[in-house]
Structures are given as structure tokens and as C-alpha cells.
Amino acid sequence: MNETLKEIHDLLVDRVDSLSDAVGKTNDVATAKQLLVEMQEVLHRVNVTQNLLFTQASQELKDMLPAIKQADSELKQSLQSVQNAVKVIAQTSQLLEYVDKALDLAKTLALI
């Protein structure tokens, strides 16, 4: 199993849980709906990552992990107080941008 992708997978699963918890903590329907959209986006990356867990490891992929973890940390902090949905959306997008780059590389490695 590719340990880097396993870390990314586990991080994404944790974020789906955090987004789900945030939905339960808001009374604003529009915010809840947007959080659900973000949760679907993260869940899609969980599914993609699961399909790549047994691809070849690489240092380049491993080097992407710190940026992913930093973006995740920022998102996790925002989710503790879901008063600013715009910030949560922006930080989710930032996290997924880094994850997508890693997944694109993993897809390439799967072809080798």
C-alpha cells in the first residue's frame, strides 16, 4: 500500500467527518447546504484515493504531503467555528487543489 496515499485518504475521511459534524452544528440552511456540497467534493476525493492506494510510491508524491497537511490544518480550524462558510469553502478548495495534484501524480504513477 502506498503510505502517502493512505495518509491522504485518512486525512480526507477525517475531513468528511468534520464537515458532517459542522452541518449538524449550524442552524442556517444555506450554510448547511454549502457544507454538504463541500463534503461531497471531499468524499469524491476519498473514492479516487481508494482506487489509487496500491499505486507505486514516489518521493515527489511524498513531498506534496506537507502542503496538504497544512491546508487541512487550516480547514480543520475553520470547521471548529462554522460562522464563516465562505472561509470554509475557500479552505476546502485549497485543500482539494493540493490533493488533486497528488492524485494526478498518483494516476500517472499507476500507468508506469
DSSP letters for 36-63: HHHHHHHHHHHHHHHHHTTSPP-HHHHH
Task: Give pLDDT tens digits along the chain (112 positions).
Answer: 999 999 999 999 999 999 999 999 888 899 899 999 999 999 999 999 999 999 988 999 999 999 999 999 999 988 887 677 788 889 999 999 999 999 999 999 888 6
pLDDT for the residue 112: 67
pLDDT at 33: 93
- Rounded to whole angstroms, the Cα distance separating 9 from 12 reads 5
Alpha-carbon gap, residue 112 to 109, rounded angstroms: 5
Cβ-based neighbours of 94, under 8 Å, separated by 6 or more = 71, 74, 75
- The CATH number of the structural domain formed by 3-111 is 1.20.120
What are the residue boundaries of the structural domains of the chain, listed by start? 3-111
